Structure 1
Amino acid sequence: MHGFLLWLAIVSYLVLLVIVSLSLYISYKRRVKLRTERDTLLLEKEAALGFVNNVGQVFADSDSVEMDVLLERVLYYAVRTCKAGAGCIHLANPKAGRLEARAVSGVFPPPFDINIEHIDLQNNATEQLERLVLNTPIPLGKGLIGEASVLGNSILIEDGEMDSRIPQAPVPFLKIKTMLIVPMRFGNRTIGVMTLANRTDGRRFALSDLNLAQSLASEASVPIHYAGLQETLEEKRQLDRGMQIAQQIQNSLLPQELPSFPTVDIAAFNHPAMDIGGDYYDFIRIDNQHIGLAIADVSGKGIGGALMMAVCRGVLRVNAENVYDPATMLSSLNKTLSTNLADDMFISMLYMVLNLDTHLLSYARAGHEAPIIIRSNDPKAEQIETAGIAIGLVDNDTFAATIETRNITLHPGDLVVTYTDGITEAMNSSQEEWGTENLIETVERMANATAGDLLENIHKDVLAFTGNCRQHDDMTMLALKIK
Structure 2
Amino acid sequence: MAELLHWIVALLASAFEVALIVFLCFTYQNRKTLRKENRRMRKEREVIFEFVHQIGEVFADAEEIDMDTLLKRILFFSTKTNKAAAGAIYLFNKDRDRLFARAVSGIFPPLYDAESVKTERLLAKSQHLETLVKERSVNSGEGLVGAAAAVGTGIIIEDGEVDARVPTYKDAFLQIHSLLIVPMRFGNEVLGVVALVNRIDGSPFTAGDLNLLQAMADQACVPIHYAGLRDALEHKKQLDRDLHAAQQIQASLLPQTLPHLDGVQLSAFNLPAYDIGGDYYDLIQIDEEHLGIAIADVSGKGIGGAMMMAVCQGVLRTRAGQEQSPARMLSELNRVLSNNLAEDMFITMLYMALNIQTRELRFARAGHERPLICRGCSNRNRELQALDSPGIAIGLTSPEVFDAVIEDMTIQLESGDEIIVYTDGITEALNEEGEEWGLENLSRLIKASPQNPESLLRTVQNTLTRYVGARQQYDDMTMFALKIN
Asked if TM exceeds 0.5, the reply is yes
Where does residue 481 of structure 1 map in the other structure?
A: 483
Residues 304-349 of structure 1, C-alpha deviation per residue, up to 9 Å, x if partnerless?
2222222222233333332111111212222222222222221111
> 1:177 touches 1:197 (CA, 8 Å); kept in 2?
yes
Matched, 1:391 2:394: yes
Distance in 2 between the 1:72 and 1:121 partners?
Answer: 22
Where does residue 322 of structure 1 map in the other structure?
A: 322
Question: Greater CA deviation, 75-84 or 281-290?
Answer: 281-290
> 1:157 touches 1:163 (CA, 8 Å); kept in 2?
yes
Distance in 1 between the 2:173 and 2:9 partners?
Answer: 66
Partner SS, residue 122 of structure 2: coil
The one-letter code of the counterpart of 2:471 is: C
Where does residue 206 of structure 2 map in the other structure?
A: 206
Q: Which among 460, 471, 474 is matched to residue 472 of structure 1? A: 474
Distance in 1 between the 2:238 and 2:173 partners?
Answer: 42
The one-letter code of the counterpart of 2:38 is: R
Partner SS, residue 321 of structure 1: helix
> 1:88 touches 1:104 (CA, 8 Å); kept in 2?
yes
Map residues 65-104 of structure 1 onto 2, 5 A cutoff: 66-93=66-93, 95-104=95-104
Distance in 2 between the 1:64 and 1:425 partners?
Answer: 49
Q: CA deviation at 1:165?
A: 0.7
Where does residue 135 of structure 1 map in the other structure?
A: 135
The one-letter code of the counterpart of 1:47 is: V
Distance in 2 between the 1:448 and 1:434 partners?
Answer: 21
Question: Greater CA deviation, 14-23 or 464-473?
Answer: 14-23
Question: Greater CA deviation, 458-467 or 170-179?
Answer: 170-179
Segments of 5+ residues of structure 1 without an aligned counterpart are: none
Q: CA deviation at 1:8?
A: 10
Residues 136 and 420 of structure 1, relative CA distance in 2, 3 Å threshold: same
Residues 366 and 218 of structure 1, relative CA distance in 2, 3 Å threshold: same
Q: CA deviation at 1:462?
A: 1.1
Q: CA deviation at 1:394?
A: 1.9
Distance in 2 between the 1:346 and 1:168 partners?
Answer: 54
Q: CA deviation at 1:12?
A: 8.8
Question: Greater CA deviation, 421-430 or 260-269?
Answer: 260-269
Question: Greater CA deviation, 339-348 or 38-47?
Answer: 339-348
Distance in 2 between the 1:14 and 1:168 partners?
Answer: 61
Map residues 193-342 of structure 1 onto 2, 5 A cutoff: 193-342=193-342
Partner SS, residue 368 of structure 1: coil
Q: CA deviation at 1:250?
A: 1.4
Partner SS, residue 320 of structure 1: helix
Q: CA deviation at 1:62?
A: 4.4
The one-letter code of the counterpart of 1:124 is: K
Q: CA deviation at 1:112?
A: 1.7
Matched, 1:424 2:441: no
Question: Greater CA deviation, 299-308 or 342-351?
Answer: 299-308
Where does residue 145 of structure 2 map in the other structure?
A: 145
Distance in 1 between the 2:33 and 2:113 partners?
Answer: 41
Map residues 33-48 of structure 1 onto 2, 5 A cutoff: 33-48=33-48
The one-letter code of the counterpart of 1:158 is: E
Residues 23 and 222 of structure 1, relative CA distance in 2, 3 Å threshold: same
Map residues 164-175 of structure 1 onto 2, 5 A cutoff: 164-175=164-175
Where does residue 404 of structure 1 map in the other structure?
A: 407
Residues 162 and 8 of structure 1, relative CA distance in 2, 3 Å threshold: farther
Distance in 2 between the 1:407 and 1:256 partners?
Answer: 29
Matched, 1:30 2:30: yes
Partner SS, residue 259 of structure 1: coil
Where does residue 189 of structure 1 map in the other structure?
A: 189
Residues 169 and 285 of structure 1, relative CA distance in 2, 3 Å threshold: farther
Question: Greater CA deviation, 13-22 or 351-360?
Answer: 13-22
Distance in 2 between the 1:422 and 1:466 partners?
Answer: 12
Q: CA deviation at 1:154?
A: 0.3
Residues 240 and 262 of structure 1, relative CA distance in 2, 3 Å threshold: same
> 2:62 touches 2:227 (CA, 8 Å); kept in 1?
no
Q: CA deviation at 1:172?
A: 2.6
Residues 54 and 395 of structure 1, relative CA distance in 2, 3 Å threshold: same
The one-letter code of the counterpart of 2:109 is: P
Segments of 5+ residues of structure 2 without an aligned counterpart are: none
Partner SS, residue 269 of structure 1: strand
Distance in 2 between the 1:428 and 1:11 partners?
Answer: 101
Residues 119 and 240 of structure 1, relative CA distance in 2, 3 Å threshold: farther
The one-letter code of the counterpart of 1:236 is: K
Question: Greater CA deviation, 92-101 or 462-471?
Answer: 92-101
Matched, 1:124 2:125: yes
> 1:148 touches 1:181 (CA, 8 Å); kept in 2?
yes
Residues 466 and 151 of structure 1, relative CA distance in 2, 3 Å threshold: same
Where does residue 61 of structure 2 map in the other structure?
A: 61
Question: Greater CA deviation, 462-471 or 436-445?
Answer: 436-445
Partner SS, residue 381 of structure 1: strand
Distance in 2 between the 1:173 and 1:314 partners?
Answer: 63
Residues 21 and 113 of structure 1, relative CA distance in 2, 3 Å threshold: farther
Q: CA deviation at 1:68?
A: 2.4
Q: CA deviation at 1:100?
A: 2.1
Residues 338-387 of structure 1, C-alpha deviation per residue, up to 9 Å, x if partnerless?
22222222111111111122121101111111111122376111112211
Matched, 1:160 2:163: no
Partner SS, residue 295 of structure 2: strand
Residues 253-311 of structure 1, C-alpha deviation per residue, up to 9 Å, x if partnerless?
22222223223222221111000111111122222222211101111222222222222
Distance in 1 between the 2:266 and 2:251 partners?
Answer: 19
Q: TM-score, normalised by structure 2?
A: 0.91
Question: Greater CA deviation, 422-431 or 312-321?
Answer: 312-321
> 2:375 touches 2:416 (CA, 8 Å); kept in 1?
yes
Q: TM-score, normalised by structure 1?
A: 0.92
Distance in 2 between the 1:455 and 1:346 partners?
Answer: 27
> 2:91 touches 2:193 (CA, 8 Å); kept in 1?
yes
Distance in 1 between the 2:459 and 2:291 partners?
Answer: 26
Aligned residues with identical type, % of pairs: 50
Partner SS, residue 361 of structure 1: strand
Distance in 2 between the 1:465 and 1:118 partners?
Answer: 70
Distance in 2 between the 1:170 and 1:272 partners?
Answer: 63
Where does residue 442 of structure 1 map in the other structure?
A: 445
Aligned pair count reads 481
The one-letter code of the counterpart of 1:317 is: R
Distance in 2 between the 1:101 and 1:122 partners?
Answer: 21
Residues 447-474 of structure 1, C-alpha deviation per residue, up to 9 Å, x if partnerless?
441x223222211221121121110100
